[in-house]
């Protein structure tokens, strides 16, 4: 009986499928778009002929060929002229299947999938530039000049065995590859990884190698993009020279189609029951307090930090003006003594955020925090996305940010304000999106936080990075009898019972949904709220003006205030930013400024002094030291410290010991570095 079923020619069945209205239309549009691909929805095929669809999934090599031939045959009927033109150029129609009904999980791919058509979803972490690949290679005989064409498959370029010319008899195979007479096709390789939000808690992401061949599918996705790929799973083993092939094989996917998916995490709307719960919660006048109390309940105290985390989770509204865009995501930094639960808070945020990613300053991959151009094993370069790109539209929790790589120190400036990461290296030029909120933690440079020193002295991060944080908090571990008493009781209670002594008012599952829901709201400033923010800003500006300090708080802080107020309105699911939101934003900003050692009541503060910890005269001297260094670098590359100090004394009358302090400051800021002992160089 099975024989009879076999008798149906698959190619004919495919052609019947392409004769349906939808596909006739798609085929006739191919010429207009100048395309050679025909997109076919798997679901359509399944409805048309379930058996054929299943065959295609099980034996894609054979059936895709039938499908492509059928599509070309149908093109000959729909648009004979275009079919003719394609034939002249030796082009074929490629049928590209999209949206299989089920996605295969990256971490479940195995030997069962080899040779099968599967759909996988994930995030692109690495890509090579588009490279031409030879499809048909032309070889010219060195003896008689005859050209032989060889169709290429496999990894290596294959030369002919013998010359095609019968009168040319030579024992040696000597050929030249002729590029102009060979045909090439665009190819690219990608590395795809499980999305941060799909990752089982505490697991490292798995990756899959992706091969793309064909000008219509290369260069579609960039690192950081979320994609859905349909393709055939292949297994190859690598060859060890002189030994043979390895018995274990590596999996990769040979791409048939690739689609870039929307980047919004959890686009799925909450169920009606969940929505009801969310709306009910939002009515509570104490909703802000309730959420703060639900954040990391096992961690004692730190209410103001939990409040800041709440704002960070909800975020402000990004503004895209015709000429510029302003980020909506907030950045917060926790600087603190060892053992003050910074890492715990960060890990908690990773779990609760709709898309959260935890990494250390050094990064967990070669790409670090931003991006890197890497040299591949087989030669050639590839671009790899770092943590901030992978967490696009989510929250990146960066622990020990002060220990980040020097390359990231440069690139993170752009990432944290413009929300892009630009790369131009090794022939790769790209700009990747990094619309990421950052929650970072750092230890004080001197081991413990020294309250009488400025924040810039306390942490080894340059001022330019510090100023990109909307809020900075200091966590100090100072003995305090009353607090220690309560806290130890709290911690010991956790250890005794194995669960939190305080039940969160909102369960984390619901809180996560609540955040996703709130992110759809775009609150706007009311007159009243706007006036409060403006008054506060102007009061501080004028206070520093009368002091005669050169730079007061900057427009950055004003934008931070707006973001915080927006986030607070979102928490209550309000479309309007009220005076109370503005007040709360002002008060947490004041708290943050106070924490870093500023007397807020007198309004006398100067972000410049706060961040750099030095009055104008010192800044001028630093500038002098730096420009002298740059001047001297022109002659010698790197500069001997001793000669720099002598120069500063001779030319600008800066005493040696002061010069040494200035260099120390520049070193700590990362403006200059020591390429080798006794020498300095500008970063
Ligand atoms: N306020 C607190 N409430 C409950 N537990 C706390 C509190 N502070 C510290 N701990 C506990 O102390 C331990 C150390 O915390 P954690 O590792 O997060 O510190 P850290 O600030 O990251 O330190 P380091 O700077 O050395 O990395 C954790 O087990 C944490 O639960
Ligand atoms: Mg830690
Ligand atoms: Zn020859």
Share of the chain above pLDDT 70, in %: 91
Q: Which ligand neighbours the alpha carbon of 144 most closely?
A: 3
Q: Round to whole Å and give the CA distance between 360 and 59.
A: 44
Mean pLDDT score of the chain, rounded to an integer? 86
Note the pLDDT of residue 64: 96
CA of 406 to the centre of ligand 2 (A): 21
CA 596, 598, 600 angle in degrees (round to 5)? 125
Cα 568 to averaged position of ligand 2 atoms, centre (Å): 28
Phi-psi map region of 154: left, alpha, beta (phi>0 left; psi -120 to 50 alpha)? left
Check residue 605 and give its pLDDT: 46
Ligand 1 nearest-atom number relative to CA 344: 18
Those residues whose C-beta lies under 8 Å from the C-beta of residue 181, and which sit 6 or more positions away, are 138, 147, 149
d(CA 627, CA 632): 9
The reported pLDDT for the residue numbered 342 is: 93
Given a cut of 90, whether residue 575 has pLDDT beyond it is yes
Q: What per-residue confidence (pLDDT) applies to 662?
A: 82
pLDDT at 16 over 60: yes
Nearest-angstrom CA–CA distance, 622 and 381: 39
Is the Cβ atom of 339 under 6 angstroms away from ligand 1?
yes
340 Cβ closer than 6 Å to some ligand 1 atom: yes
The CA 358 to ligand 2 mean position distance, Å, reads 12
The pLDDT of residue 599 is 47
pLDDT at 496: 84
Contact 192, 120 (CB under 8 A): yes
Pocket of ligand 1 contains residue 360 by CB under 6 Å: no
Smallest CA separation from ligand 1 atom 11, residue: 341
State the distance from the centre of ligand 1 to the C-alpha of 661, rounded, in angstroms.
Answer: 34
Question: With 90 as the cut, is the pLDDT of residue 611 above it?
Answer: no
Q: CA 464, CA 32: separation in Å to the nearest integer?
A: 51
Spatial distance between the Cα atoms of 160 and 182, rounded to a whole number of angstroms = 14
Question: Between residues 543 and 238, which one has the greater pLDDT?
Answer: 238
pLDDT in tens, 24-52: 999 999 989 899 999 999 999 999 999 99
> Which of 130-144, 567-581, 609-623, 652-666 is predicted with the least confidence, judged by mean pLDDT?
609-623
Q: How far apart are CA 125 and CA 223, in angstroms?
A: 5
Cα 299 to middle of ligand 1, angstroms = 8
What is the number of the ligand 1 atom nearest to the C-alpha of 400?
A: 27
* Ligand 3 midpoint to CA 462 (Å): 67
Predicted confidence at residue 324, as pLDDT, reads 85
343 Cβ closer than 6 Å to some ligand 1 atom: yes
Which pLDDT belongs to residue 2? 44
Atom of ligand 1 minimally distant from the CA of 346: 18
Which of the listed residues 340, 475, 487, 498 should we mutate to test ligand 1's pocket, taking the one with most ligand atoms within 8 A of CB?
340
Q: What is the pLDDT of residues 435-482, one digit of tens each?
A: 999 999 998 887 788 766 677 778 888 878 888 899 999 888 877 788
- pLDDT computed for residue 481 by the predictor: 81
Confidence of residue 195 (pLDDT cuts 50, 70, 90): confident
The best mutation among 293, 296, 339, 485 to test binding of ligand 1, ranked by most ligand atoms within 8 Å of the C-beta, falls on: 339
Which residues face 319 on adjacent strands?
326
| Span 487-493, average pLDDT | 85
336 lines ligand 1 (CB under 6 A): yes
Mapping DSSP to helix (H, G, I), strand (E, B) and coil, where does residue 132 land?
strand
Q: What does the pLDDT read at residue 603?
A: 42
Determine if ligand 1 sits within 6 Å of the CB of residue 344: yes
CA distances from 536 to 131, 531, 533, 559, 582 (A): 56, 9, 5, 13, 10
> Contact 402/460 with Cβ under 8 angstroms?
yes
Higher per-residue pLDDT: 618 or 513? 513
Ligand 1 touching residue 342 (CB < 6 A):
yes
Distance 140 CA to ligand 3 centre (A): 8
Which residue has the least CA distance to atom 29 on ligand 1?
Answer: 341
Which of 275-289, 365-379, 585-599 is the most confident on average? Answer: 275-289
Taking the centre of ligand 3 as the mean of its atom positions, its distance from the CA of residue 144, in whole angstroms, is 4
Take residue 131 and report the two structure tokens written for it. 């490279």
């Amino acid at each position: 009986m099975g024989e009879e079923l076999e008798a149906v020619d698959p190619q004919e069945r495919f052609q019947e499928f392409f004769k349906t209205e939808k596909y006739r239309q798609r085929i006739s549009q191919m010429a207009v778009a100048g395309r050679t691909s025909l997109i076919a929805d798997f679901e359509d095929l399944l409805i048309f002929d379930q058996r054929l669809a299943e065959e295609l999934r099980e034996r894609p090599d054979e059936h895709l060929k039938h499908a492509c031939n059928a599509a070309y045959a149908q093109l000959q009927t729909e648009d004979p002229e275009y079919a003719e033109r394609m034939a002249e150029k030796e082009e074929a129609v490629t049928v590209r299947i999209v949206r299989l009904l089920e996605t295969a999980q990256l971490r479940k791919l195995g030997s069962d999938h080899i040779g099968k058509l599967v759909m996988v979803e994930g995030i692109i972490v690495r890509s090579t530039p588009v490279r031409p690949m030879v499809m048909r290679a032309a070889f010219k005989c060195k003896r008689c000049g005859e050209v032989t064409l060889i169709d290429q498959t496999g990894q290596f370029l294959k030369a002919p065995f013998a010359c095609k010319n019968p009168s040319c008899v030579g024992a040696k195979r000597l050929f030249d590859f002729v590029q102009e007479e060979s045909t090439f096709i665009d190819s690219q390789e990608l590395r795809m990884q499980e999305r941060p939000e799909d990752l089982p808690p505490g697991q490292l992401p798995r990756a899959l190698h992706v091969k793309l061949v064909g000008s219509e599918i290369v260069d579609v996705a960039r690192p950081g993009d979320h994609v859905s790929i349909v393709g055939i799973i292949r297994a190859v083993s690598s060859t060890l020279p002189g030994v043979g092939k390895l018995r274990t094989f590596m999996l990769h996917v040979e791409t048939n189609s690739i689609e870039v998916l929307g980047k919004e995490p959890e686009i799925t709307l909450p169920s009606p029951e969940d929505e009801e719960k969310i709306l009910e919660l939002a009515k509570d006048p104490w909703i802000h307090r309730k959420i703060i109390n639900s954040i990391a309940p096992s961690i004692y105290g730190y209410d103001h930090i939990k409040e800041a985390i709440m704002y960070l989770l909800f975020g402000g509204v990004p503004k895209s003006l015709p000429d510029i865009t302003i980020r909506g995501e907030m950045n917060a930094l926790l600087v603190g003594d060892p053992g003050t639960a910074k890492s715990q808070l960060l890990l908690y945020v990773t779990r609760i955020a709709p898309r959260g990613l935890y990494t250390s300053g050094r990064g967990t991959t070669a790409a670090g925090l931003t991006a890197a151009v890497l040299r591949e094993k087989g030669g050639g370069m590839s671009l790899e996305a770092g943590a901030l790109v992978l967490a696009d539209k989510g929250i990146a929790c960066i622990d020990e940010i002060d220990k980040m790589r020097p390359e990231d120190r440069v690139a993170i400036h752009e990432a944290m304000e413009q929300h892009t990461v630009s790369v131009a290296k090794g022939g790769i030029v790209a700009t990747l999106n990094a619309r990421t909120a950052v929650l970072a933690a750092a230890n004080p440079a001197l081991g413990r936080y020294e309250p009488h020193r400025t924040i810039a002295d306390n942490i080894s991060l340059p001022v330019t990075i510090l100023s990109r944080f909307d809020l900075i908090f200091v966590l100090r571990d100072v003995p305090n009898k009353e607090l220690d008493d309560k806290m130890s009781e709290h911690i010991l209670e956790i250890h005794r019972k194995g669960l939190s002594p305080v039940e969160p008012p909102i369960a984390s599952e619901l809180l996560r949904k609540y955040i996703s829901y709130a992110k759809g709201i775009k609150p706007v400033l009311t007159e009243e709220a706007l006036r409060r923010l403006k008054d506060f800003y102007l009061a501080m500006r004028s206070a520093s003006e009368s002091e005669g300090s050169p730079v007061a708080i900057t427009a950055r802080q004003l934008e931070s205030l707006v973001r915080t107020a927006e986030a607070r309105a979102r928490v209550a699911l309000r479309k309007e930013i009220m005076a109370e939101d503005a007040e709360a934003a002002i008060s947490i900003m004041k708290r943050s400024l106070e924490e870093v050692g500023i007397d807020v009541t007198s309004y006398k503060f100067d972000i410049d002094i706060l961040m750099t910890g030095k009055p104008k005269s010192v800044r001028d001297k630093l500038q002098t030291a730096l420009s002298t260094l740059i001047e001297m670098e022109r002659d010698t590359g790197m500069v001997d410290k001793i000669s720099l100090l002598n120069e500063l004394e001779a030319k600008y009358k800066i005493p040696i010991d002061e010069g040494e302090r200035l260099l120390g400051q520049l070193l700590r800021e990362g403006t200059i570095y020591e390429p080798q002992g006794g020498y300095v160089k500008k970063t």
